[in-house]
Structure 1
């Protein structure tokens, strides 16, 4: 019965062929899940460690500034309050002013962490996104080319979620982002939306409209090209 066509052009598989197809799909799913989770989780962990390190360094610098300038200048004590004597020496008390300054730093930390996360994502994207050879392929994850295409599309789609948000909304930075993802952009080209940057080449001086979109693939029925 192998290879027999039924109504609609579908291929009728034998039990053994069906087992092989199921095994191939399961293997493809594990391959995709491992790389996609690596792409999302590893940058998050590295961002947490980097942000924690930066906060630690910032606190050390702040402590040095307090010890070197604030505590020895009584004229500045009205800002955060007079220092109090503790077992370890003089310390700045927690006042409404110091609490307000600490809360005001939260948005800065959030934006900085998001920026760092984006940079780490870009590094892992450079590692995981691979070129796709031109051609027609059956649209099934069991096919290694299609599997890589789906991973590429998922990764580049993640970056599109950042598009339109600062600071990557700026044309100059979005150009750097797309070039890092494999796009070949000529001089004076500031891209709008590119779905498959690793398959796109745009010549010098090309103008793209604000909401234009360039895709490097098409899907026809059960084939991808």
Structure 2
């Protein structure tokens, strides 16, 4: 492969990663448009490179095509959230059961939960969210099924976007999330496949129900907790 192709690919990766981070941080509002021309001008790159980066975000469901408006940041409905979490529950509860049957607990999952707790103590919501996402990724990757891993990455891109849009609503305390993660990890380490699966399902159903109950409500002062996520 030519050096030029390698350089072009790395630029696309870098632009994609930066755009993804900005969208997930909510720097562009849901429903707002994103253009190839604007991305090319901002990053001082060619339009084909900008298009390649944006196409990846379309494939992940973060951006959608909307007729004359072009690309817009996706707005997730209650139906989207229900489908998203149903898919995650099916995939992740199965993965937890398989890992438990093998008593295979990836160290990276434990590390991410430790990082989540530290971030909660610092009231660092962005790190809490990142560690939460990476913990779930680590478990699915440890299963070793490449197709499942790719499916899960797509699901988590949407889940992350959804969480970023409602982060100010502070739906669950970060400490509670870490505690729930710990029970799942303990069940995997102990080889209890039924408990690992059931605890994973309960964890995700609780997050789904919180989102569906509050997604379209205005946040209140009582909900404020800067270290909360799904």
Shorter-chain TM-score above 0.5: no
Greater share of residues in strand: 1
TM-score, normalised via structure 2 length: 0.26
User: Comparing both chains, which one has the higher relative contact order based on Cα–Cα distances under 8 Å and sequence gaps of 6 or more?
Assistant: 2
TM-score under structure 1 length normalisation: 0.26
Higher Cα radius of gyration = 1
